[in-house]
Amino acid sequence: MSLPSLTLPTFDDVAAAAHRLKGMAHRTPVLRSTSADEMLGAQFFFKAENLQRTGAFKFRGAFNTLAQFTDDQRERGVLAFSAGNHAQAIALSARLLDMPAVIVMPEDAPASKMAATREYGAQVVTYNRYTEDREAISRQLALERGMTLVPPFDHPHVIAGQGTAALELLDDVPDLDYLFVCVGGGGLLAGSLLAAKARAPHCKVIGVEPEAGDDGAQSLRAGHIVRIPTPHTIADGAQTQALGDLTFPIIRDHAESLISVRDDQLVQALRFFAERMKIVVEPTGALGFAGAQVFAGAEGNGKQLHGERVGILISGGNVDLGRYARFLAD
């Protein structure tokens, strides 16, 4: 089974999602850093979705989607595929809404994410992300079990829910000049663009991808969705192969640009968050700030963002502690 509506979401959908999530999702804090401001000569505002329920923004889209299930869909349950954050978000949302959940996860997903998904009550089915097609596996399982398949980014309710993170940031800091957002399948960026277009149309929204997974930028250059092999990057939440049919047109029409960063630049961003801001951020969650540094010319003098007010969406903080320690120690 699939959800009935596959039309492009609008800002009204983001606003409705915000109402639906009130009291369910955390209104995460906006953090400041004098060190970041001085380093790049700008004012930075960090939306800390690493402090969201399940440790990532994904709870917003998952709960917004499952809350709109029919009674029959709730009884049959939800099926999703995810490297980890969408998995946990669907699992917790399903538990809160009293419905069964099955999650298809790569066998090499971070152990902490897989364990948390199971602890929230979901059944986990594993696959090899480099040799097997997770979408085909998920479609077959959903058909066999009569469950509703909820993709991690390419659904209007998911996109609308994710957009509430940027909506909150823009409500708290209404005069941003730039907003940097991580990009995997594009759900967070697409939702953020809908929010920014309505709340701060002057704000330039820039998507940030891992260098090994720059399918989004390739797609914008080509004028159509470009699909790539699963990228090898430490940003496991951005190891997607393509933008979605819904996320691509929103990004194409409204994003200022898409830029990419190397894994070593992500590691430097992780260290900055740990050493200067005292917060744990996963590699995918560091894409926005690493991208702002690249855009600003952090390896030069930061003139690109000098004097500007810059929003950064920290997408999540779910990382195995052993792996995280190695990032900080290398």
Catalytic (active site) residue 257: no
For residues 320 and 120, give the distance between their C-alpha atoms in angstroms, rounded to a whole number. 18
Residues 58, 82, 192, 219: which is the catalytic one? Answer: 58
Q: Determine whether 315 is an active site residue.
A: yes
- In this structure, what are the phi and psi dihedrals at residue 257, rounded to the nearest 5 degrees? -175, 170
What type of residue is 213?
G
Residue 110 has, within 13 A of its CA and on its CB side, a CA count of: 25
* Rounded distance between C-alpha atoms, residue 231 and residue 316, angstroms: 20
Q: Residue 162's closest CA among 46, 279, 316?
A: 316
Active-site position among 33, 192, 260, 315:
315
> SS in 3 state form for the chain?
CECCCCCCCCHHHHHHHHHHHCCCCCCCCEECCHHHHHHHCCEEEEEEHHHCHHHECHHHHHHHHHCCCCHHHHHHCEEEECCCHHHHHHHHHHHHCCCCEEEEEECCCCHHHHHHHHHCCCEEEEECCCCCCHHHHHHHHHHHHCCEECCCCCCHHHHHHHHHHHHHHHHHCCCCCEEEEECCCCHHHHHHHHHHHHHCCCCEEEEEEEHHHCHHHHHHHHCCCCCCCCCCCCCHHHCCCCCCCCHHHHHHHHCCEEEEECHHHHHHHHHHHHHHHCCCCCCHHHHHHHHHHHHHCCCCCCHHHCCCEEEEEECECCCCHHHHHHHHHC
Q: Among candidates 203, 210, 205, which has minimal Cα distance to 269?
A: 210
What residues are annotated to the active site? 58, 315
